[in-house]
Structure 1
Amino acid sequence: MSDYQYYEFRTIDRRLDEKQLRELRRFSRRARITPTSFQIHYDWSDFRGDPKAMVEKYFDAFVYLASGGSRRLEFRFPKKLVDLKALKRYDTGGAVRLWTTRLHAILSFRHKFEQDEDAEGEGWLDSLVELRAALMAGDRRAAYLGWLMGVSLDDVSPESEEPPVPSGLDELTPALEGFVKFFRIDADLVAAAGSRSGAREEAAPTARELAAFIKAIPAAEKDALLLRAIKGDVPHLRAELLLSFEDSKPAPGKTARKKPEPRTAAELLAAADRRAGTRSARA
């Protein structure tokens, strides 16, 4: 019986050079390779490349899907542009894994189902790739959903407490809904987790706030930033500046509202079962 396997890799905000394209061609003669992507599927054979090494060296996003049931999504980030300590709290050791290289951090999501004869990989990365930018901007909803997937896979011990619950978990973006669909995360488990998630506030900085931030940047640092812009070294310049802007803001004052106690994996699973039971009773 044939075993369908689909691999797609993509760069973000940059292009592969000729040397890198030649190196990638060694992995497959029939792959569709462009300066920003590598795409191939197999029905009978296996891929000669090492996806982990390819993400570490060349690509910023990767999706894998197989009729054998495996699904995988990975994002690579500039290490200095993500909060590694915060992301590590969602690492389950299986469904969610975080590791670093000299310059990058890689966040991997993985699941293994039963046979999936209707597997079709094309189009999935298009619907999921914007999660990378969201994670870089501090939106950790995808990381939390990955942790929930780990709960359902028994990666997480029943007594383990949940990591920080991101706001907006009860109002998912299309990309996050795609993430739930791609990994088939239980909808009742997502709803149970989202019951304690507050509304997401995404107010963009005002022109006045940005002007004050720019004015405060030392002259030598501004010169270095302008030089980078002129030389074209700008793929992550905006992200770097916005991260610096957020770091420059004063810490919010203490609020009287007390955060709820974190729930255990067992409590979340029980809440999901109650939701499923209530829905069945109403049907």
Structure 2
Amino acid sequence: MSEFQRYQWKVVGRSLSAKQRGDISELSSHISVRSDSAEVSYHWSGFKHDPIAVLKRYFDIHLYEANWGTQDVAFRFDADTVEVADLSLFAMGETLTVVEADGSVLVDAWFEENWIESAHGYYDEYDEADWRLDAFEAIHRQLMDGDYRGIFLLWLNACELNLEENADSTVPLPMGMGQLKDEHKTLADFVGVCGGLMKAAAERSDPLPAETAPQEDLAHHLGKLSKARKEEYLQQLLDGDATAVQSALRRELRSLGKQPRRSRSVKNISYRELADAARCAAEQEARRIKEEKEKRRRDYLAELERREDEIWDRVNERVAKKETKAYDEAVLLLRALEDLWTTRGDREYFLNAVRLIAEEFPRLTGFRGRLEEAGWLNPKREHLLLPIKRERWSEKNPLQREIDLKW
């Protein structure tokens, strides 16, 4: 497979200016720049600039993926729009960092050697309204609103990839892990969060509080803001970033009204607890599947035994039709009977019975050839391709394959 890298950026709640779009266009000869996002892909070489520096200067979200198992998810916030102390609780060494500098907060999750089976291929073409960037925009807005489910998922993946170092790491368990939305599932797919860990977290997470009308509740506290403070918000709104202004205003009004952010939790959880729970659940599921498979196998063999005479008669009837399709059906039924007699420990009885059928129809070379290919008859003359044909036939028709007995 050839090399592949994709870089994507997006702004939240605003648009890029004409000058910004022009500056970004000069970063690469084939970068695609839109009013609120940019994207560039490489099948050789790579981006010549620091993508995080580009994020800090122009954007709020950055995604990176390479087909050698690397993903990067980075969010930029104005420092007064998020609770830095809360976000920092999820930091994990160099894999998941939360850094405040120059009035901004950068949350960066970098995953190396993270081989995943993505639901979407590396070479998929995305339309201009890139659904994935839209999903990460929703995560960005949630983090500003105190909903930490997105960063918790990143923390889970960081722990799993650095298991020896972080097995005992503990963080607050956000509410609503059992109520994940499409954007959370998109994030989990992008970085490959373990489904078992997500399920264990969902089982231990408190539900989100019932939806209320937060704007109406918060509006009661607008009178507590000074005139100067209100004018500050209006000036910030005029300057551009409506989403950041809205988040900061809500944050301040919640503080004035002493309302908790909706997905914060006083319940802490360790990665080890979640991993142990996921492992136990996987073992239980494996036992259930094994027991179900064994029961299905017993039921199938019981039906074969009950209908054995009927199946032998059906084989003779299909062979007597002297038609290609009928031969194929007869051979599959014989495979079922071979399974039954092998289980009984007397496969030789089955082979003798097949030889008798072949002797009953000595001129049906097409049918005999199928029996030779299945390995039930020796060929009358050597055929160089017969071993290969037998191997392919066995792969296509394994001995314990359940044959459809409905006719």
TM-score, length basis structure 2: 0.62
Indicate yes or no: 2:111 matched with 1:111: yes
Alignment of 1:198-277 (within 5 A): 198-201=206-209, 202-205=211-214, 207=216, 209-229=217-237, 234-250=242-258, 262-277=268-283
Pairing 1:147–2:155 present = yes
The 1:19–1:149 alpha-carbon spacing in structure 2 relative to 1, beyond 3 Å, is same
Which of 1 and 2 has higher RCO (CA within 8 Å, sep 6+)? 1
Secondary structure of the residue aligned to 2:165 is coil
Give the structure 2 partner of residue 128 of structure 1.
136
TM-aligned CA deviation for residue 227 of structure 1: 4.5
Q: 1:158 to 1:92 in 2, by over 3 A?
A: closer
How far is 1:233 from its partner? 6.3
Unaligned residue ranges in structure 2 (runs of 5+): 261-265, 290-407
Q: Secondary structure in 2 aligned to 1:129? A: helix
Q: Give 1 or 2 for the bigger CA radius of gyration.
A: 2
Task: Kindly provide the amino acid, as one letter, of the partner of residue 81 in structure 1.
Answer: T
Q: Is the 8 A contact 1:95 1:149 kept in 2?
A: no
Supply the distance in 2 between the matched residues of 1:6 and 1:169 (Cα, whole angstroms): 29
Q: Identity of aligned pairs, percent? A: 25
Q: Deviations over 1:69-110 (max 9, x none)?
A: 111111111111111111111011243221123121111223
**Distance in 1 of aligned mates of 2:241 and 2:135:** 28
> Match of 1:192?
200
Change (3 A) 1:235 1:191: closer
Counterpart secondary structure, 2:212: coil
1:70 aligns to 2:70 (yes or no): yes
1:2–1:170: structure 2 CA closer, same or farther, 3 Å change rule? same
What is the CA–CA distance in structure 2 between the aligned matches of 1:158 and 1:171, rounded to whole Å?
Answer: 26
Match for residue 332 of structure 2?
none
Moved more, 94-103 or 145-154: 94-103
RMSD: 2.5
Q: Is this contact kept in 2: 1:66–1:116, CA < 8 A?
A: no
Q: Which amino acid letter does the alignment assign opposite residue 85 of structure 1?
A: A
**Where does residue 58 of structure 1 map in the other structure?**
58
Given that 1:98 and 1:105 are in contact with CA atoms closer than 8 Å, whether structure 2 keeps it comes out as: yes
In the alignment, does 2:41 pair up with 1:41?
A: yes
Which runs of no fewer than 5 residues in structure 1 stay unpaired? 253-258
Structure 2: distance between partners of 1:84 and 1:24: 29
Change (3 A) 1:251 1:230: closer
Which residue in 2 is equivalent to 1:97? Answer: 97
Q: Residue 256 of structure 1 corresponds to which residue in structure 2?
A: none
Q: Is the 8 A contact 2:218 2:254 kept in 1?
A: no
Equivalent residue letter for 1:92: M
**Distance verdict in 2 for CA 1:223–1:41, change over 3 Å:** closer
Question: What residue number does 1:255 align with?
Answer: none
Q: Aligned-pair distance for 1:42?
A: 0.9
Question: Which 10-residue stretch deviates more, 21-30 or 225-234?
Answer: 225-234
Provide the rounded CA distance (Å) in 1 between the counterparts of 2:255 and 2:116.
47
CA contact (8 A) 1:157 1:265 kept: no
Query: What is the CA distance between 1:23 and its match in structure 2?
Result: 2.7
Give the direction of change, closer, same or farther, for the CA distance of 1:229–1:176 in structure 2 (3 Å limit).
closer
Alpha carbons 2:7, 2:64 under 8 Å: kept: yes
Tell me the TM-score normalised to structure 1 length. Answer: 0.87
Q: Which of 80-89 and 235-244 deviates more?
A: 235-244
The 1:98/1:224 distance shift into structure 2, 3 A limit, reads closer
Do 1:9 and 1:62's aligned partners in 2 also have CA atoms closer than 8 Å?
yes
Greater fraction of residues in helix: 2
Decide which of 260, 277, 286 is 1:280's aligned counterpart.
286
- Cα deviations by residue, 1:173-222 (Å, 9 ceiling, x for unpaired): 11111111111111111111222210112433263x34431222222323
CA–CA distance in 1 between the matches of 2:212 and 2:123? Answer: 37
Q: Would you say the 8 A contact 2:169–2:270 is kept in 1?
A: yes
Q: Is the 8 A contact 2:10 2:38 kept in 1?
A: yes
Q: Could you tell me which amino acid in structure 2 is paired with residue 119 of structure 1? A: Y
- Deviation digits for residues 225-246 of structure 1, max 9, x if unmatched? 3444456564522222111111
Show CA shifts across 1:31-63 (max 9, x none).
Answer: 111332211111122111211111111111111
Deviation at residue 24 of structure 1 after TM alignment = 1.9
How far 1:167 moved relative to its partner? 0.5
Describe the SS at the equivalent of 1:188.
helix
